[in-house]
Amino acid sequence: MLSLDGIGKSYAGRVLFDDVSLRLVPGDRAGIVGPNGAGKSTLLAILTGAEPADHGTVSRTRGLTLGHLPQEILSAPDATVIGTALRPGEHLTALEAELHEIPEALERATDHAEQERLAARLADAHAEYDRLGGNHREVRARRILAGLGFRPGDEERPLRSFSGGYVMRAELARLLIDLPDVLLLDEPTNHLDLESVLWLQDFLAAYRGTLVLISHDRAFLSATTSSIVEVEGGKVTRYAGNYESYVRERAERRAQIEAAARNQERRIQETERFIERFRSKATKARQVQSRIKALEKEERITVAKEGPKVRFRFPQPARTSELALELSAVAKSYGDTKVYGALDFQLRRGEKTVLVGPNGAGKSTLLKLLAGALVPDAGERKLGLRVSTGYYTQHRQDMLDLERTVLDNAMACAREQGETFVRTLLGAFLFHGDDVKKKAAVLSGGEKSRLALAMMLLDPPTVLLMDEPTIHLDMASVDALIAALNEFDGALCFVSHDVHFIRHVARKVVRVEAGVVTEFPGDWEYYCWKRGAAALHPAAADVPAGSGGASGAETPATDVERSARGERAERRRAAEARQALAKRTRGLRDEIRTLEEAIEELEREKAGLAGDLADPETYKRPGPEVAELQRRYAEVEKALGERTDRWMAVQERLEEELAGEQD
């Protein structure tokens, strides 16, 4: 048994918990839910003893073994994948100690009953050791690693050569191999792709120990837990039943409390009226006094307020060229592993594209190439006019300086905005008052994500590149992000395994597989439908895998067959229309290209001249030369203004043409 009794915990004067109790018995499967920063990870750390409580007691049955997967691991251990996975945890260490000690004790034992007891314990320990794979533990380890998405051959590679997500996977594998009495997992699905999530779900369903699991993933919670522990507003409340029944019961409890609060309010008002009316009547003095006392004693029922929600929007970016970002013939390899050979990829203004595909297909690599965070081995990356890219990574420690405060991190991104503005923006991301003085290192997982998002808004790019933006975010924050991205006019390209998020944001799907990208010019439903159709025509299809395949399978085959023929004719018509449109608008496109080239040239010249004019050395040159520089600067600026106006006008004409075509 593992339990908390009257636990209190504060950080820097802020009370996180005051009086929290929780009891876990063998076989419990508890899901912990609650908003970002509520204290879920802290609660887990207190349970394991990693974090001390300010008061209260933590009790743990002697010999009970625990395995804890923290929410984030900052650095990879210096070992191979298999070495990490086989590192013994509490459970195996305890077992090995027993297997060593019991035989020694047996030799020493003289009492018959004692010998029998020891022999039985030894047999149990052997049975348990066998259950963990015994001397074939490595075989079991390899199976678990494969389930969590490692590919054959990965096992011997050093963990440091993998991304942060894989470091978490290896640590998770280690715990699953150790099979402790209690597994405490802090958002384990954050670093998994859909297939591995399903694998983990099955694994946990078969696990007979005690499970304590923090997650924001509704489907995963439903499949793996049988009670829900809610952490919110300093309170920890347990609900029997799965996630759905928790949502229901919570609504009912809330309704009951609200009704009770209303009744109480009515009663209080009646009493107050009574007191008011008879206060001056001597005959009623006793009754009035007793009622005043009763009122003072009555404990008021408070209805917990719904917590504040994150609300924000991305500032509308400056107008960019239609072709915002382009990769041509890009090649990228990591050592011997070739990810892309000659990749062409284009991102257009206003496009909302999701990259999907199996694990390790190179989605994050493509995002990094687009962001310029990774330099291609060959080929070219070209930014459109006025395009700036912003790159949000799933490993926010790349974006945050963990040693600095929230405010300092944000101020480092601010351009001309002052501190007041920055504080207001941070407020919208729920960093209030002293919260901005916290060091980034102590922030909760979701708070780090919120800070990184806020920082992107301080230097708003015209092209957003986001790698798993929803991990660590609570459900309300994900919804706020969806709303903000839907209003954003710039281009967006992202990787996500959150189907709810993809469905509400993506308007185009790009499948990345084996170094090849396939475009699906429609939303998620369209992609699933196409993948379903493609499965019927294997010649034209790539092998269905992962999320797309799973959802595509829901489409009834007959519908797909029926529409396949009509769809071909439709495709031909669409292709003809596209060609006609391309011909009509060719002149406009050519003019846009010429203008963009001219503008770029002028901007370069302007920057050069501005540099000269800012240099004190320049003014030691003869007067007429300086005057000439100034004259040329004015001329360039004027030409730039004219070209830009013309460029905007032509762009608009082109857009009208394109829009007319869609009606």
Which parts of this chain interact with ligand ATP (CB under 6 A)? 11-12, 16, 34, 36-42, 71, 438, 442-447, 472, 474
Tokens 């601010």, residue located: 414
| Identity of the residue numbered 600 | E
| Identity of the residue numbered 571 | R
Shortest Cβ 450–ligand ATP spacing (Å): 8
Tokens 């529409």, residue located: 563
Q: Give the DSSP H or E segment for 166.
A: helix 164-178
Tokens 């983990």, residue located: 200
| DSSP letter (8 states) at residue 489 | -
Is the Cβ of residue 328 or residue 405 nearer to ligand ATP in the bound state? Answer: 405
Going by C-alpha positions, the residue among 241, 182, 236, 258 that lies closest to residue 34 is 236
* CA distance linking residue 663 with residue 661, whole number of Å: 6
x/- letters, 19..48, toward Mg ion (CB under 5 A): ---------------------xx-------
Which residues contact residue 98 at a Cβ distance below 8 angstroms, ignoring those fewer than 6 apart?
A: 121, 122, 125
Is the Cβ of residue 236 or residue 355 nearer to ligand ATP in the bound state? Answer: 236
Shortest Cβ 41–Mg ion spacing (Å): 3
* CA distance linking residue 350 with residue 149, whole number of Å: 34
Tokens 């099955």, residue located: 202
Shortest Cβ 39–ligand ATP spacing (Å): 4
Count of positions on this chain that bind Mg ion (CB under 5 A): 5
Shortest Cβ 7–ligand ATP spacing (Å): 13
Token reading at 66: 């625990």
What residue is closest to ligand ATP based on CB? 446
Scanning 227-235, 239-247, 385-393, 439-447 for contacts with Mg ion by CB under 5 A, the matching segment is 439-447
Longest dimension (CA), the chain: 113
- The item of ligand ATP, Mg ion, none sharing an interface with residue 149, based on CB under 5 to 8 Å by kind, is none
Is the Cβ of residue 87 or residue 404 nearer to ligand ATP in the bound state? Answer: 404
- The item of ligand ATP, Mg ion, none sharing an interface with residue 442, based on CB under 5 to 8 Å by kind, is ligand ATP
Is the Cβ of residue 48 or residue 80 nearer to Mg ion in the bound state? Answer: 48
508 neighbors 352 (Cβ within 8 angstroms)? yes
379 neighbors 342 (Cβ within 8 angstroms)? yes
- The item of ligand ATP, Mg ion, none sharing an interface with residue 447, based on CB under 5 to 8 Å by kind, is ligand ATP
Does position 477 interact with Mg ion (CB under 5 A)? The reply is no
Token reading at 507: 């308007």
* CA distance linking residue 478 with residue 523, whole number of Å: 19
236 neighbors 43 (Cβ within 8 angstroms)? yes
* CA distance linking residue 226 with residue 116, whole number of Å: 39
Shortest Cβ 404–ligand ATP spacing (Å): 14
Shortest Cβ 183–Mg ion spacing (Å): 16
| Residues in region 51-80 near Mg ion by CB under 5 A | 71
Shortest Cβ 212–Mg ion spacing (Å): 13
Shortest Cβ 478–ligand ATP spacing (Å): 12
| Residues in region 496-555 near Mg ion by CB under 5 A | none
CB 531: neighbour CB atoms within 10 A? 26
Which residues contact residue 131 at a Cβ distance below 8 angstroms, ignoring those fewer than 6 apart?
A: 179
What residue is closest to Mg ion based on CB? 41
Is the Cβ of residue 473 or residue 535 nearer to ligand ATP in the bound state? Answer: 473
Q: What are phi and psi of 236, to 5 degrees?
A: -120, 115
Is the Cβ of residue 50 or residue 342 nearer to Mg ion in the bound state? Answer: 50
Q: Give the DSSP H or E segment for 623.
A: helix 623-662
Is the Cβ of residue 437 or residue 537 nearer to ligand ATP in the bound state? Answer: 437
Shortest Cβ 103–Mg ion spacing (Å): 43
Does position 462 interact with Mg ion (CB under 5 A)? The reply is no
Is the Cβ of residue 60 or residue 439 nearer to ligand ATP in the bound state? Answer: 439
Does position 445 interact with Mg ion (CB under 5 A)? The reply is yes
Is the Cβ of residue 91 or residue 448 nearer to Mg ion in the bound state? Answer: 448
Site residues, Mg ion (CB under 5 A): 40-41, 71, 444-445
